[in-house]
Amino acid sequence: MQRHSITRALNFPEYKITDLRLNQDGYWIQVEAYKRKPFVCSKCDEVHGGSINSVKKVSVDDLKLFGKRVRLIVVKRRMRCPKDGSLHVERVAWLKPRARVTNRFAQDVYRLTSITTNTEAGWYLGIDDERVYRIDLETLEDLAAKRLKPTPAAKNMSVDEVAWRKYYRYLTNVIDVDLRRVIWNSMGRTAEVLDKFYDSIGKEACAEIKSVALDGAMTYISSTSKKAPNALIVYDKFHVVQKLNTTVDTVRKLELRKARKEDRTDLIEMMDCKQRFILLKKKANLTESQKGRLDRLCALNDSIYKAMILKEDFLQVYMQQDEVSAEAALNEWFAQAAASGIQAFVALAEKFRNKARYILNWFKKRISSAISEGINNKIKRLKRMAYGYRDVRYFLLKIHQHCGLLSPRFSP
């Protein structure tokens, strides 16, 4: 193959190959600009005429060739800049200043880190974790400046909190329900945090928000009612069901503790963690043997039985045809929960009663809980993949990369 053809295959416009070697490490390819290529100053970004002072060789990684690693030796010309009188190298379009990899290599890093861990991506590309992290972070920051500024607004949105570390550190995600993607996020979960989102899209865009689904937190509710006056606030079904499940689990833990004190081996076995899921699933979704186990447990323990009934009955509220019958069913449930004597459910009913309006708003705007659930699961996976993110700024960007507008699969 002639050098000319390889130059074309390499695809760096206005650059030619001046040397090419193959050894055990892979290819070493030296490239330099054609003489006629104008000199673009890396200091002031302008084209300078005049004579070249000297050259500087930098070595960078490029995409693999025929399965082998490629190191490019880029010969950069140096010239005196008339603006500051000092020597500067030329700007190379396919290489960022001070980068140790080509832009297209950085793109590959970013595409790989959107589907796998940094360690795996690094192994595949032949670079260490630290370099993957630096390249990934820089690429995501560049993209964020293009796609997340100004803050994208949504007509129908959903607000969600995520625990990002132990000891209750939280962050807030805003999801565009129509796009099914995260469009904004920030550390914390106070009303002031969500206020920042509303302020950044501006009053006009806020007035156009039609619905906001949220997890029932008063902080989000108060921020939304203040900043998005025309939005219908919906207590997301996904989160209502989650609260019901947590409450059932609270009852289970309490009963398990009692059973241990009383040495009730039959009960302990049926209520331990492994059996937890039969209490959390909808009864209709259980297999015959799971149903049998649940029935035995309910027969043995009155509180668990009552808790299961309360949960299943609440789900009936969502089965109603319209808001009016749903309201009647909900009020009936409040009375039932209050009369149950199960402390955890008495407390939950009290909380739900204060937010009944938002629970019932679901009948006006039935936002699919699959969106919140899907994004929640992706973030959980992301947290597992990273083995703890060193800084929250990186984690926020990774959420955008895996669930938002910074995904390589998303084209604006």
Chain residues binding Zn ion by CB under 5 A are 41, 43-44, 81
Local structure of residue 90 (DSSP, 8 states): B
Nearer CB in complex with Zn ion: 81/356: 81
For strand 211-214 and strand 232-235, is the pairing parallel, antiparallel, or unpaired?
parallel
CB of 53 to Zn ion, least distance (A): 13
At closest approach, how far in Å is the CB of 51 from Zn ion? 15
Select 38 or 341, whichever has its Cβ closest to Zn ion: 38
Among residues 49 and 150, whose Cβ is nearest to Zn ion? Answer: 49
CB of 103 to Zn ion, least distance (A): 22
Sheet strands (E) in 5-152: 15-23, 26-33, 39-40, 47-48, 54-65, 68-80, 87-89
Pairing of strands 169-176, 181-187: antiparallel
Minimum distance from residue 82 beta carbon to Zn ion (Å):
7
Question: Which CB sits closer to Zn ion, 85 or 150?
Answer: 85
Minimal distance, residue 83 CB to Zn ion, in Å: 5
The token pair that represents 223 in the structure block: 């921020």
Task: Name which of 80 and 276 has its Cβ closer to Zn ion.
Answer: 80
Least separation in angstroms between residue 21's CB and Zn ion is 34
CB of 56 to Zn ion, least distance (A): 15
Nearer to Zn ion by Cβ, of 37 and 260: the residue is 37
End-to-end CA, the chain:
40
Closest CA to 402 of 170, 34, 111: 111
The neighbour count for residue 364, using CB atoms within 10 Å, is: 10
Residue labelled with tokens 């509220």: 317
Secondary structure (DSSP) of 340-361:
H--HHHHHHHHHHHHTHHHHHG
**Residues in Cβ contact with 226 at an 8 Å cutoff, skipping those fewer than 6 apart:** 195
Rounded CA-CA distance 275/277 in Å is 6
Q: Which is nearer to Zn ion, 63 or 81 (CB)?
A: 81
